[in-house]
Structures are given as structure tokens and as C-alpha cells.
Amino acid sequence: MKVLISGGFCTIGISLAKKFAKAGNNVTIIDASNGSDISYLKDEKIKLFDLPSSDPECEKIFSASRFEIVIYVPKYEYKLDLGHKAFTDEQILPGCDAPGIVNMLNLSRIFKIKKFVLLSSGEIYGNTDEIPANEQTKPNPVTVKGMSSYVMEYYCFRWSELHNMNILSLRTSDVYGFSAHKCPDHFEIDFVSGIVEKAINGKKIYVSGSKSTTKDFIYIDDFVEGAYNASVDKNCVGIFNLSSKTETRLSKLAEELSALNHPIKINYSQDNVAVAQRTCINNSKITGQLNWQPKVDFTEGIKLILDNLKLESKNAVLYRKKNKTKLSRKQPGVIAYIENIFLFLVTAFIQWGNLFFNLKLPDLKIDYSIIYIIIMGITWGQTQAYIAMLLSAVLYVGMNLYTGSDIVTFIYTSDNLIRLAVYIIVGIITGYSIERKNRKLESQEIVIRNIQNKYGFLSDIYNETRIVKNELESQIIETEDSFSAIYKIIQEVDSLEIEKVFSGAISAIERIMKTNQVSIYTLSNTQNGNFMRLKARSKLLEDKIPNSIKVSDFKELREVIDTKSIFINRSLKTDIPVMIAPILDEKGVICVVSIHYATFENLTLHYENLFQTVLGLITNALKRAYYFEASLKDKRYIAKTRILTPHTFGKILDEVRNSKAELGMSYTLLKVDKNGFSLEQLSEKITRVIRDNDYIGMDSQDAVYILLSNTKNNYANIVIDRLNKVKVGAFLVIENFENE
């Protein structure tokens, strides 16, 4: 199953994605990372697209994939204020991204998504007299989160009415709990975890409401399990509450933390903030629909948060230090100032060193300060160029005053002013030019990054499209090949002899389904159909599967027979075939066909559909053979007996010999000693001791034989002993019919 999670770069979204991926589904996440590091989310079954849900490019993702379920996750990110403001639901990002949810709904309509899931909020109920609130309770939201949920639900169900879409709205209570997928540089925390984290760090805690204010909390693992089950359940459509159905006072947080050696004081503040005084949500509807119950109570949840926060605190510190180090490498920092001062001292020494030291430096008629300003501007940009300009001016003025000039003379000397003006002009021009160049480079880098992101996006879309294209191409090629293959199936199974139909069916299924391990069992008419007898199998399965199977020992077989539908071994159990399907007639199941092995890449919906198509052809052929046998019963059997005529028995024996040569299907032939019994008496006695799929027949010399299907010669003595008990003699025939 292919699942899209819109707005998935958050604790809830990632946890859901991991759950779907673990269950064997292909998951795609669309969300804007806003510069956060999302590399930790990489998973071979999870594709990431860094763009908002409202982006028109989302259409390319939908067109390249065949999503069955779209899950929209609004972002309710609590912004914890460590100051004096209360911790409240008003301090969240509203989460009502109208363009985003409309875009997702529209694309779901265009690409015929089977189910659209909205993760709504239980705060949609607000202040209500019905405690616990159920799905029929009239919404009365009093918070931004509740009002946002109300608006989104309106969008979704109006869309459902207009375009006949399956919409599931999960009104969830407050999800809390530490996420193993939390990204250290992306601030995201829930109400309870935020208070626990503050308690560990010894921060003051302000909560809107009062001690008697209650909330309905559900642990994140319980939420994810419930949301997953509801999403994949075809009958789970409409509005469902997903909650713990437990009313918890806010003051219980302090009590639980105090009991865990983390005593805290919560300051309750109204501050004119709208908040539901009592919140408890009824989950009876979803627990009745699904096999789901919340497992983690509030006390256990607090302990899990504490353990996980303590475990992750060291990793978070290391992560921040690592990022801080990387950031310091990008900024000039102290190095630029050290280089500037050092180069200034060198310039001062070269230009004015002869005034202080007995040195004779070459007089190149060059103002080294100008070179110094240019070098600093080119190397470090505008800021260092201005500093170099200022230092050069101060140095020049200072040296002139040191050599005997007074300040008035210095000012009125035009050469001095021109020199200072040159410093200023050089510094400004150099700094401005370099800064302009740097800004242009940064602009180009941004353009390049955008192009790279665009390329990466298109590359992902291309790879997705290429995979789908290869799959479709393979299916088309297989379909074209199967025209001739299906024709051959018809030729191979288009027989009026049941044995020939069975042996031809094995060969046909092997070729079309690209496997070499196929078996066909017939359902016994006796013992309430609890036994199946092996009728035909692939040569590779010789001695690997039993000749008889008790249906009650395998619930999967019982399910196939009872429901008359195909079974797919999705859990890949080793003792169960990959696919099991029934062959039906008007009365019920007559045979069961199994594919015991298939390559992993062939386990697709196309492969399943192809199997059903082949079974349809085989079913028709078997029905014709059975009808033919029933209609010509008087011509195939000697009157009033189960003994086949010589002509019919000869054809069946030839087909059994072919199965022996081609598929390795063993058989045993016994010759019967009549002992003066009539054919009617022999038929009655022999029928009592042989199986339904064994044959009794005569040859052209009126000798009576028993043909034991799927039986080796070393088991013949068992049947011979049974015949002796009913006073019928028999012995094994080898030379005339088998090359053994």
C-alpha cells in the first residue's frame, strides 16, 4: 500500500510514517522543513519531499505515485515560554493551512485516492455539558486549535459531499509522549512533555486554567496504533474519536512528578485565555469498530517521558555543540581581527619603522597603507576594510604629529587631506566592491541551491516515475506474452479427461506465474471435507509436501474454503504457501491451488490478478471435465459399478504415466484377483478401502486393476492388506506398466 502523509515532519507524522513503513507499506512525506535537518528521517521505505502541502509541485508527486491513503497532519507546535506567560493552547501555530488542505483534497480527488484521513483535534468540542463527549456532541470550540479543527473538518466533509470521497476525521485527545524520532534542532514538544522537561530543568511553570481543569491525554504509541488501524480499515469512514477516555486533572501532573522525585510548583493563571474547563472524549465507537484499546496509562506515560528525556539530553547537548562548531567555522570571528592587526603592524613597521629603528628600508614611493586596506578588503570584506581604513588614517595622523607637525598645520596641508581621502575612498570602494561581489555570490549560491533542490525534487519524481514505468512496462510485456501463454493454457487444459486437466494446469500455472512450485489438492467428500488429497504438483515438490492434509490443522486453508477467496501469505510464514486459492463449482470448493514459492519482486497486485485469471480458466476446464464425466457415467463405468471401462481406464492410465514422466507424480497399479466375485461385488468391496481419487478399471482382457494416485510402490502393501480383510486378493504390477 502506498501512503502519503502531508505535514509529516513532526513527531506525530514521523511516528505514523514509521508505523506504516514497518507494516510493509511505501510511505511518502510532504512537508516544508524550514531549514531543519531531516536527514535523520531517511528510510528505504519513506520518501521525503521538502515542500509545503500547498505547493503546486505536489501534483507531480501524486502523478508519479499511486497513493491509496492520504493523511493530513496539522501542525500544533507548542511554543514554551520560560518567562511569565502561561503554557496554553493559545501559544501554538494555528495549524489551519487552508491552501494546503484544499490542495491535498483536490489532488486526492483528481487522482482518485481511496481514503483521505484528517487528524483533527478533540478540542473541537470545547466547553460542553456532555462528559465524555461523543461523535454526536455539537462542537463548541473555544481555542485556536479547536476552531482550526472545526474549519478543516468543514472543508473535508463538504469536499466529500461534492466529490464523493471517503473521508475519515480522527478527533484526537491531547497526544503526549517522547518521540524516538525527535529532531534536536527542530523545536517540537507537546503539553505534558514540555512540563516534564521544565520540571527536570527546574524552570517555573505557568499553566492556564485551574487545578480542577481536566484534559484527556493519550500516549503517542497508543495514538499511532489507533490512527494506523483506523486508516487501513475500509469501514472506518466519517468522524471517530481517538482518545484514552480518561479525564485527568492538570494538578495530577505535579502529583505524578513529585512521586517520581521531581517536585514542581505549577502556577495556574486564567489571564483571560479561553480554555475548556473539562475535557473527556468517548472512544467507544472506535474501540467497537477496531481491535484497539489504549494501553499506556497517564502514570506510566510520565515515567516513559522522564526516562527518554534523560536518555536523550546528552545527545541533544552534543548535537547543539556540533552545530555551534559548524556555525563558528562559517563566520570570520576572531581570526579576521587578528590578521587585520598583524598586517597593520607589518605595514606600520615597513612604512614608519625607520623613525624608531636604525633601519634603512628601500624607498619605493609606495603608500603601504593603501595596499594594506586593499588586502584586508579583498580578504575579509567590507567590515575589515573599514577597520583597516580607520587604522591607516590614525597611523598617518599619529606619525605626522610625532614627527613635529601640529594639528593645525596638518589640517591645512592639502597633501595630508588628500592622503586621508585616498584611504577613505580606497576603503569604501574596496569594501563595497567585495561586499557586492559576496552578495552576488550568495545570491548565486541561493539560486544554485534552489536549482539543486528543484533538480533533487525532479530526480525523485523521475525515479518514482521510472519505477512505475518499469513495472507497467513489465506488466504490459507479460500481458502480451500471456496472450499466447493463455492460449496454450486453454489448449493444455481443454480436455474432457480430469487427469489431463490437472496435469496441464500445473504446467500452465508454472509458466504463467513464473514459479516451479505449484500444487493442487482436491477436497474430500467424506469426513465433512476436513481432508484434502494431493491431485497434482510440480516436480520440484516431490517428497516435500504431504499427499493428504487435514484442513483443520491450518487456519489459512480453513479460511480459504470458508470464505471461498484467495489467501496471500503477507507475513511470509514458512509453513504456508505464498498464495492459496479455491476452485469452485455450484456446490462449493472442489480444489485448492497453491503457489509455494515466488520471487519477491513478483509479489505485486498484478501477480495476484494474473493468478486469479489463470484460476478462472482452469475452473472452467475442470467444470467441463466433471460435467462430461457425470453426463457419460454410463459409458465410462461398467453398469452398477465404479469400475472404468477398458477404453476410459486406458486413457486415464496413459495420462497418469505422462504425469509420472513430466512431473514425477508417483502411482501404484494393483491387479485384482476376482476370486469368483462378480464385478458389482468387487466394486463394492474395493470402494470401501480406497480413496476418492483412486481408480478401479478393466483392461481389454477383462482383468480388474486398481490405480492408486500419488502412491509409491512401498505403500501398496497397506492397500493389499485392506483388500485381504474384505477377502479380495491383489498384487503389485511392475513390469507391464512402470519402468521401475
Sign for the CA dihedral angle at 65, 71, 74, 78 comes to negative
Report, as an integer, the average pLDDT of 269-298: 80
Q: How far apart are the first and last CA of the chain?
A: 52
Q: Across the chain, what does the average pLDDT equal?
A: 79
pTM of the prediction?
0.52
Hey, what's the cell of 524?
A: 474430500
Hey, what's the cell of 527?
A: 469426513
- Eight-class DSSP state of 201: T
What pLDDT does 329 receive?
A: 43
What pLDDT does 339 receive?
A: 85
Furthest-apart CA atoms within the chain: distance in Å: 154
Sign for the CA dihedral angle at 571, 575, 579, 584 comes to negative
Is the pLDDT at 240 greater than 90? The verdict is: yes
Strand partners, 267: 206
Is the pLDDT at 402 greater than 70? The verdict is: yes
Q: What percent of the chain has pLDDT over 90?
A: 11
Q: How far apart are CA 660 and CA 672, in angstroms?
A: 22
36 vs 139, more confident: 139
What pLDDT does 167 receive?
A: 94
What pLDDT does 212 receive?
A: 75
Strand partners, 149: none
Is the pLDDT at 444 greater than 80? The verdict is: yes
Report, as an integer, the average pLDDT of 463-483: 65
Is the pLDDT at 84 greater than 50? The verdict is: no
| Least confident piece of the model among 53-67, 578-592, 615-629 | 615-629
What pLDDT does 327 receive?
A: 42
Which of these, 205, 219, 201, lies nearest to 310 by C-alpha position?
Answer: 201
What pLDDT does 255 receive?
A: 81
Q: How far apart are CA 356 and CA 364, in angstroms?
A: 19
| Least confident piece of the model among 123-132, 434-443, 459-468 | 459-468
677 vs 736, more confident: 677
Measured CA distances, 92 to 10, 188, 233, 532, 726 (Å): 14, 11, 31, 63, 88
Hey, what's the cell of 262?
A: 521531581
Is the pLDDT at 187 greater than 80? The verdict is: no
Angle (deg, nearest 10), helices 414-493 and 498-513 = 170
- Is 207:87 a contact under the CB 8 Å cutoff? yes
Question: Into which CATH architecture does domain 2-326 fall?
Answer: 3-Layer(aba) Sandwich (3.40)
What pLDDT does 107 receive?
A: 93
Residues 696-729: pLDDT tens digits?
Answer: 888 888 888 888 877 776 677 888 888 888 888 8
The residues spanned by each domain of the chain are 2-326, 333-457, 494-631, 634-732
What pLDDT does 115 receive?
A: 94
Per the listing, cell 477467496 goes with: 565
**H-helix or E-strand containing 176?**
strand 174-176
What pLDDT does 275 receive?
A: 66
Measured CA distances, 523 to 190, 443, 588, 592 (Å): 58, 75, 10, 8
Q: What one-letter code names the amino acid at 710?
A: N
What pLDDT does 6 receive?
A: 92
What pLDDT does 87 receive?
A: 43
- Eight-class DSSP state of 161: H
82 vs 690, more confident: 690
Cβ neighbours of 435 (radius 10 Å): 15
Q: What are phi and psi of 581, to 5 degrees?
A: -140, 145
- Eight-class DSSP state of 138: P
Question: Into which CATH architecture does domain 494-631 fall?
Answer: 2-Layer Sandwich (3.30)
**H-helix or E-strand containing 466?**
helix 414-493
Q: How far apart are CA 133 and CA 240, in angstroms?
A: 11
Q: How far apart are CA 279 and CA 266, in angstroms?
A: 19
- CATH fold for domain 634-732: Alpha-Beta Plaits (3.30.70)
Angle (deg, nearest 10), helices 368-380 and 382-402 = 160
Q: How far apart are CA 549 and CA 532, in angstroms?
A: 5
Q: How far apart are CA 665 and CA 620, in angstroms?
A: 24
Is the pLDDT at 186 greater than 50? The verdict is: no
| Least confident piece of the model among 35-49, 231-245, 446-460, 547-561 | 35-49
181 vs 161, more confident: 161
- Eight-class DSSP state of 526: S
- Is 549:537 a contact under the CB 8 Å cutoff? no
Among 279-283, 547-551, 659-663, the range with the most confident prediction by mean pLDDT is 279-283
Residues 278-291: pLDDT tens digits?
Answer: 888 999 999 988 88
- Eight-class DSSP state of 370: H
85 vs 68, more confident: 68
- Is 407:401 a contact under the CB 8 Å cutoff? yes
Report, as an integer, the average pLDDT of 416-442: 86
What pLDDT does 68 receive?
A: 92
Which of these, 248, 247, 230, lies nearest to 239 by C-alpha position?
Answer: 230
- Is 219:177 a contact under the CB 8 Å cutoff? yes
Which of these, 196, 48, 12, lies nearest to 121 by C-alpha position?
Answer: 12
Confidence of residue 110 (pLDDT cuts 50, 70, 90): very high
What is the separation of C-alpha 116 from the centre of its chain, rounded to a whole number of angstroms? Answer: 16
Q: What percent of the chain has pLDDT over 70?
A: 82
Q: What are phi and psi of 360, to 5 degrees?
A: -115, 100
734 contact partners, CB below 8 Å, separation of at least 6: 713, 740
Is the pLDDT at 522 greater than 60? The verdict is: yes
Q: How far apart are CA 426 and CA 371, in angstroms?
A: 9
- Is 645:651 a contact under the CB 8 Å cutoff? no
Confidence of residue 338 (pLDDT cuts 50, 70, 90): confident
362 vs 502, more confident: 502
Per the listing, cell 456532555 goes with: 130
Q: What one-letter code names the amino acid at 113?
A: I
Four-point Cα dihedral 19, 21, 24, 27, nearest 10: 120
162 vs 495, more confident: 162
Q: DSSP characters for 563-627? A: HTS-EE-TT--TTS-SEEEEEEETTEEEEEEEE----GGG-SHHHHHHHHHHHHHHHHHHHHHHH
Residues, the chain: 740
Q: DSSP characters for 90-113? A: TSB-----HHHHHHHHHHHHHTT-
What pLDDT does 170 receive?
A: 94
Residue 459: exposure state from Cβ atoms within 10 A (0-12, 13-18, ≥19)? exposed
Residues 550-599: pLDDT tens digits?
Answer: 888 888 888 888 888 889 888 888 888 999 998 887 778 888 899 998 88
